[in-house]
Structure 1
Amino acid sequence: MSALALLDGTVDAPSPTRDEADARSHAAGGLARWQRSRIEGFVAANLHQQIAIKDLAALVRLSPSYLCKVFKVTFGMSPHSYIMMKRVSRAKSAMVSTRAALSDIALSCGFSDQAHLCRVFRQAVGEAPHRWRQANQTDLGQ
Structure 2
Amino acid sequence: MGYPAEFRPRMQARTRALRTLEPLAFQTLEGAVADVWAVHGEAGGGGHYIAPDPRIVIFLDDQPPPMVLRAGSPEAAPIVAQAFFMPADLPMWARMQSPARMTHLDIHFEHAALERRLAAGRLRVDLARPRLLASNTSLVALGRMAAAEIRSPRAGRMLLDGLLTAVLAELFAAGPVVTGPSRHEATGRLAPWQMAAVRRLVEENMARPVSVADMARAARLSESWFAHAFRAEVGQPPHRWLAGLRLERAAQMIREGARPLAEVAQMTGFADQSHLSRRFRAHFGMTPTDWRRAQGRRSEQAEAGSFKTGREIWS
Give the distance between the partners of 1:123 and 1:28, measured in 2 at CA: 34
Give the structure 1 partner of residue 208 of structure 2: 49
- With structure 2 as the length reference, what TM-score do the two structures score? 0.35
Q: 1:71 touches 1:78 (CA, 8 Å); kept in 2?
A: yes
SS in structure 2 at match of 1:86: helix
* Deviation string, structure 1 residues 118-138 (Cα, Å, up to 9, x no partner): 111111111111100111135
Match of 1:11 in 2: none
* Preserved CA contact (<8 Å) 1:47 1:83: no
1:75 deviates by 0.9
Q: Which amino acid in the other structure matches residue 289 of structure 2?
A: H
> What SS does structure 2 have at the residue aligned with 1:119?
helix
Corresponding residue SS for 2:228: helix
1:93-125 CA-partner distances (Å, limit 9, x unpaired)? 111113321111001111111111111111111
> If you compute each CA radius of gyration, which structure gives the higher value, 1 or 2?
2
Correspondence for 1:85 = 244
Deviations 1:19-56 (A, max 9, x none): 9xx89x96641101110111111111111110011111
Equivalent residue number for residue 115 of structure 1:
274
Amino acid paired to 1:81: R
Q: Does 1:39 align with 2:198?
A: yes
Contact 2:257 2:292 in 1 (8 A): no
1:59 maps onto 2:218 in alignment: yes
Instruction: Name the amino acid aligned to 1:46.
Output: N
When the two chains are superposed, the root-mean-square deviation of aligned CA atoms in Å is: 2.2
Measured in 2, the distance between the counterparts of 1:59 and 1:41 equals: 9
Q: How does 1:8-19 map to 2 (within 5 A)?
A: none
Match status 1:135 vs 2:276:
no
In the alignment, what sits opposite 2:283?
Answer: 124
Give the SS at the match of 2:188. coil
Amino acid across the alignment from 2:246: R
Q: TM-score, normalised by structure 1?
A: 0.75
Distance 1:126 1:71 in 2: 27
* Count, aligned residues: 118
* Local SS of the residue matching 1:51: coil
What residue number does 2:255 align with? Answer: 96
Unaligned runs of 5+ in 2: 1-51, 53-88, 91-182, 301-315
State which of 261, 264, 280 in structure 2 corresponds to 1:105.
264
Contact 2:277 2:287 in 1 (8 A): yes
Q: Equivalents in 2 of 1:133, 1:28: separation in Å?
A: 42
Distance 1:75 1:65 in 2: 16
C-alpha distance in structure 1 between counterparts of 2:247 and 2:274, whole Å: 13
For 1:62-99, what per-residue CA distance to the aligned partner results, in whole angstroms no more than 9, with x for missing partners?
A: 11111111111111111111111111111111111133
